[in-house]
A and B are shown apart, each in its own frame.
Chain A
C-alpha cells in the first residue's frame, strides 16, 4: 500500500515528471539518429531537439487576427494534460502516490483531453489545413481508442485492477508466464501507439506534405513558445507510450522499493528498454512505407482485432472452465 504522506514519494513523482519532460527530446533524437544511420546518413546530433526547443522558446509567438483565446490556451492545456498523463505511468518505481491515485482510464482520459484541445486549436484559426488535420486526427483517434481500451481491459482483467502499478505488480509476482492474451494485447497496443503518436505508416512526422500530414497540419499556425510546447508535448507522448509498453509487458528491473540502489537500477533499465524500443521503431519506419489515409481504418481494425483476440484468449484459455 502506498503511503500518501510520505514526502519521498511525492518528490520522486515530481522527479519522474521532470525525467519525462527532459528525456522525451532525447528519445526522439535517438530514433532520428538510428533512422539516419539506416538510410546511410550521419543524422543530427542527439542534442538537436533541445536546441530546437530553446530556439523556439526564444522566439516571438505570432498569432493570426482570427485566433480566439482557445488558440492561445491550447498549447498550455495540451502540454499540461500530456505531462499529467505521463505522471500516472510508473517510470522508475511502482509505488508512487501519483500512480496510486489515478488508474489507466484516467490516463486515456487525459490523452483524450489533450487531443480534444489540439483538434480545437487546429480548427480555431479557420485555415483549411488546420480543419483537415483536425478531422483526420479525430478519425484516427476514434478508431484507435476502442482498440487501446480493449487491450487495457485485457490486462486489467488478468490483474483484477485498473491501476497501473497493481497491474505491474501482478505481472512481477506471476514471474515468467507465456500468456496468449498479453501477446495479443502487446501487438494491439503497439499498433495503437504507432497510430496515436503519429509515426509511419499512419502519419509522417518528418514532412509538411499537405496531402498526408495530420499532426503537423494542426499545429501549422503555431510559432514561438506555443509551437515549442506543442512539439514537446508530442515528444512526451511518444515516450509515454514507450514507457507504458515496456513497463507493463516487461516490467523486470523497475524499483519496487524506494531506495537509491533500486531506483538507480530502475533508471538504467528503463533507459535500456527505451533505447531498444527506439531501435525497433526506427527499423520498422525504415522498412514500412506510409500508407494512404483511407487504409488507416484497416490498420486500426487489425489493432482492434488483436486486442479483441487478447480478450477472447484471456477468457477462453486463461480463465475458462
Chain B
C-alpha cells in the first residue's frame, strides 16, 4: 500500500491507530496505577478522535454519535470511576514493578508481529484502504491480554481488560466503518456495567484476603491457611 494514495485524513487515521498501539505498550510498562488510568483515558480519547476521523472520511454520520459515546464513556466516565476506586481503596501510591520488564516488552512486540501474520489473509479481502489497522487492533487486544497475564494487581488487570475492548472497537471502526448503533450502545453499556461490577468485586476481594494481589487467591480457605500456620509452629 502506498501512503501517497491516501488522503491526509486517512493518514491521520493510521497515525492515531499507531499511537493507540503505543499507549498499549505504555500501559504494559507503567508501574503506577493512577498513571495507568491516565494512559487508558488517553487511549479512549484517541479512539474517539479516530472514530470522528473515520466518520468524516466515510461520510458515515452515525459514527459521530459513537465517537461522542466513546469520548464520554472511555475517556471520561470510566477513568473517573477507576480513579475514585483507586482513591477509596487507598492505592494512589501503589507501585508494581514488572519482573523482567524488557522480556515482557519484547514478547509484546512479538505478539504484534504475530497478529500481523494472522491478519495477512484477512487484509486481502477488499475492505477499506486502511484495512491494515485490523492487525494493529488485534495487537492491542493481545497486549491487553498480556497485561492481564503479567500483572497481579486486580485493578491493573481490569484496565488490561478494558484496553482489550478498545482494540475490538478499533477493529470494528477501522475495517467496517463501525458496528450498527444498537450493538455499539450495547457494548458501551456492557463495559460500563463491567466497570461498576469490578468495583464491587474489588471491595469483596479486599475484604476476604486483605489485598488486591490476585496471587493470594490460590489459597483455598482461611482454615487451610491456619492449618499451614499451625503446622509451621509444630515444626518449630
Contact = CB atoms under 8 A, between A and B. Distances in A.
A222 B3 CA distance: 52
Contact of B113 (A174, A312, A318): A312
Contacts of A312: 109, 112-113, 116
A179 to B, nearest CB: 6
B102 A309 contact: no
B232 to A, nearest CB: 36
Given A177-B11, A178-B8, A309-B22, A320 B132 contact: yes
B123 A317 contact: no
B18 A317 contact: yes
Contacts of B17: 180, 317
Contact of A180 (B4, B14, B120): B14
A318 B10 CA distance: 12
B101 A301 contact: yes
B27 interface: no
Contact of B116 (A179, A298, A306, A315): A315
Interface in A293-318: 298, 301-302, 305-306, 308-309, 312-313, 315-318
Contacts of A177: 3-4, 11
Interface string B189-208: 00000000000000000000
B37 interface: no
B41 to A, nearest CB: 20
Interface residues of B, number: 29
Contacts of B25: 305, 309
A95 B189 CA distance: 59
B136 interface: yes
Contacts of B136: 313, 316-317
A206 interface: no
A179 B15 CA distance: 7
Contacts of A316: 112, 116, 132, 135-136
A211 interface: no
B124 interface: yes
B135 A320 contact: yes
A183 interface: yes
B4 A174 contact: yes
A308 B107 CA distance: 12
A320 B101 CA distance: 29
Contact of B3 (A179, A183, A305, A308): A179
A320 B11 CA distance: 14
Contacts of B113: 312
21 contacts: A174-B3, A178-B11, A179-B3, A180-B15, A183-B18, A301-B101, A302-B29, A309-B21, A312-B109, A312-B112, A313-B14, A313-B21, A316-B135, A317-B136, A318-B3, A318-B14, A320-B132, A321-B120, A321-B123, A321-B124, A321-B132
Interface of B: 1, 3-4, 8, 11-12, 14-15, 17-19, 21-22, 25, 29, 101-102, 105, 109, 112-113, 116, 120, 123-124, 132-133, 135-136
Interface of A: 174, 176-180, 183-184, 298, 301-302, 305-306, 308-309, 312-313, 315-321
